[in-house]
Structure 1
Amino acid sequence: MANPTEYREASGFIAEIIRTNRRKSADIRVEEGAVSIVVPSDTPLEKVDQLLASKRRWIKEKMALHQLTAPASSREFVSGEAFPYLGRNYRLKIETGAFAPVKLVHGKLLITLPQSTQRPSMVRNALVRWYKRQAEQKLKEKVTRFAPVVGVSPMGVGIRTFKSRWGSCTAKGKLEFNWQIMMAPNRMVDYVVMHELCHLIRHDHSPEFWHELGRVMPDYPQCREWLREHAERVRF
C-alpha cells in the first residue's frame, strides 16, 4: 500500500483513500462508522469522488446504523476532552479547516475538521483511526521484542475491534489485538501481548498456561486485575 494517509472530504463524512497494487477494482468500507475506499494505485481523485458520490446514501446508512448500535458513550468528542494513550491523558484540540488527521503535538491530540453538524462522529472516527495506527505500530514492536522471550514465532499481527476481549490467538498462530488497549498503561499492553504469545504454547487457560505466563511475566495477576477493574476507562 502506497499512501495510507490520503483523504477526501465528502458531504458529512471523511473517506480515507488506501491505494494498492493488489486490486483491480474499488472497494468502499464502513467500519465502526469510519469510511475508507480501497482503490488501484493509479486511480485519479476524480474517480474516487465519483465512487463516493455514487455510494453516498449507502455510506450514510451504514454510518447511521453504527451510531444506533454503538454502546452508549459519555464522551462528547469536543475540544478540551481528555483521552488516554498508554495510560496518560491527552487533551483534544479541534481546529477548523480542511481535514487533517489526528496528530499528537505538544501533549495535545490535534485534529483539523471542516464545520459540520456531524463533527462529533467525525472526531470519533478520526480518533479511532489514530489509535488503530498507534496500535499497529506499537503492538508489532512489542510482539517482535517479546516473542523470543516466550520462545515462539507468531504468524502475523492484526488489529481489530473486540467487544469484550483485548486480544486473541487464531488456530493458525496469528495474534489479533483490540486497538482500545492503547488507552491502558504501557505495562497492561505488555501483559496483553505476553498473554497472546503464551497462547502459542498453550491454546487454553489451563494451569500450564498461567504457569507459562508467570515464567515470563511474574506480575501478570496485577495486570489482569487492573484490566478487569478499569475496562470501562479504556474504551469509547
Structure 2
Amino acid sequence: MTARQPQAEYREGRGFIAEVIRTSRRKSADIRVEDGAVSVVVPTNTTTERIDQLLAAKRRWIKEKIALHREQAPPSTRRFVSGEAFSYLGRNYRLKVETGNFTPVRLLNGRLLVTVPSGSQQHMVRNALVRWYKRQAEHKLIEKVTRFAPQVGVEPTGVGIKTFRSRWGSCTAKGKLEFNWRIMMAPNRMVDYVVIHELCHLIRHDHSPEFWREIGRVMPEYQESREWLRANAATMNF
C-alpha cells in the first residue's frame, strides 16, 4: 500500500469551499456534503466552468446540508480564529487565519496556516481543518498499517478514513480497516495502538481474551494507550 496524495483542487461557492476530486472512474458528477465539508467528484476532463455551474445549480441544497450539520454537531467552544491551539499527533499547533483566495491548511513554521475569503464564517475554517486532518490521517495511517500488518500477521484489503462519533476504527467483513480521522489529535503511540487493535480484528472479530492476547503480543503496554484514549476522547473533537 502506498500513500500517493494528488494535488488538491478547490472552487469557491459563495459561502462554502468545494474540494474537486477528479477520477476516471466516473462519467457524471456527484456533489457530497460530509461532516459539513463539500466535495464534487467529476470525470477527469471536466472543465472548471462546468464545475462552477454544477455548484451554482446545487447551491441551495449544499447550504441546507451545511446548516443541518451545524445544527446537529455537538456544542463546541472552538472559535476557529488565529491563536487557537489544535493538537496533531499529541503536539499543539497554533492556528493562523489569513484573508485572501482560499488556500488549504498547511503546517508551516509550527503553525496551522489557512487562507479564506474575506467575511468567511467559522465553519469554512473548520472544514479546512477537517480536510487537513483527513489527509494527514490517510497518509500516516496507511504508513502505520503497512508497518504493523506483518507484525500482526495479517493483510488488510484496504484502509479508509471516516468520521465516527464514538469509536476510533472498525474492521469490515471484507478485511478493510476504517479509521476515525480524529485519532490524529492523539499522541503517536495512541495511534499505533488503534492501528494494531484494528489489525488484530482481522484475526479475532471480537473482544475476547484471545483478541487482547493478540494485541499484547505486538504491543505489551497497550493497556496504557487504551486508558489514555478513554480518558481523553472528549478532548479530541471540534
Range of TM-score over shorter length: over 0.9
1:177 aligns to what SS in structure 2? strand
Letter in 2 for 1:218: P
1:202 aligns to what SS in structure 2? coil
Given that residues 79 and 92 in structure 1 are in contact (C-alpha distance below 8 angstroms), is that contact kept between their aligned partners in structure 2? Answer: yes
Question: Structure 1 segments of 4 or more deviating over 4 A?
Answer: 1-4
Letter in 2 for 1:153: E
Compute the displacement of 1:150 (Å): 0.6
Letter in 2 for 1:25: S
**1 CA distance for matches of 2:47 and 2:164?**
35
Compute the displacement of 1:181 (Å): 0.1
Compute the displacement of 1:124 (Å): 0.4
1:200 aligns to what SS in structure 2? coil
Instruction: Please name the residue that 2:98 is paired with.
Output: 95
Identical counterparts, % of pairs? 74
79, 83, 88: which is aligned to 1:85? 88
Give TM-score scaled by structure 1 length.
Answer: 0.98
**1 CA distance for matches of 2:199 and 2:154?**
7
**2 CA distance for matches of 1:216 and 1:80?**
39
Letter in 2 for 1:31: E
Compute the displacement of 1:234 (Å): 1.2
Letter in 2 for 1:63: I
Q: Which ranges of structure 2 fall in alignment gaps of 5 or more residues?
A: none
**2 CA distance for matches of 1:106 and 1:70?**
31
142, 165, 169: which is aligned to 1:167? 169
Given that residues 2 and 20 in structure 1 are in contact (C-alpha distance below 8 angstroms), is that contact kept between their aligned partners in structure 2? Answer: no
Instruction: Please name the residue that 2:223 is paired with.
Output: 221
Q: Which ranges of structure 1 fall in alignment gaps of 5 or more residues?
A: none
Instruction: Please name the residue that 1:16 is paired with.
Output: 19
How many residues are treated as equivalent by the alignment? 235
Compute the displacement of 1:4 (Å): 4.9
Instruction: Please name the residue that 2:192 is paired with.
Output: 190
Map 1:150-161; keep pairs closer than 5 Å. 150-161=152-163
Letter in 2 for 1:75: R
Letter in 1 for 2:92: N
Map 1:46-125; keep pairs closer than 5 Å. 46-116=49-119, 118-125=120-127
Compute the displacement of 1:220 (Å): 0.5
Compute the displacement of 1:233 (Å): 1.3
Given that residues 2 and 41 in structure 1 are in contact (C-alpha distance below 8 angstroms), is that contact kept between their aligned partners in structure 2? Answer: no
Compute the displacement of 1:74 (Å): 1.2
Spell out, residue by residue over 1:108-159, the C-alpha distance to the aligned partner (whole angstroms, 9 max, x if none). Answer: 000001112x421000000000000000000000000000001111111000
**2 CA distance for matches of 1:2 and 1:133?**
8
Spell out, residue by residue over 1:187-222, the C-alpha distance to the aligned partner (whole angstroms, 9 max, x if none). Answer: 000000000001111110000001111111011000
Spell out, residue by residue over 1:10-56, the C-alpha distance to the aligned partner (whole angstroms, 9 max, x if none). Answer: 11000111111111110000001100101111111111111000000
Letter in 1 for 2:146: T
* 1:203 pairs with 2:190: no
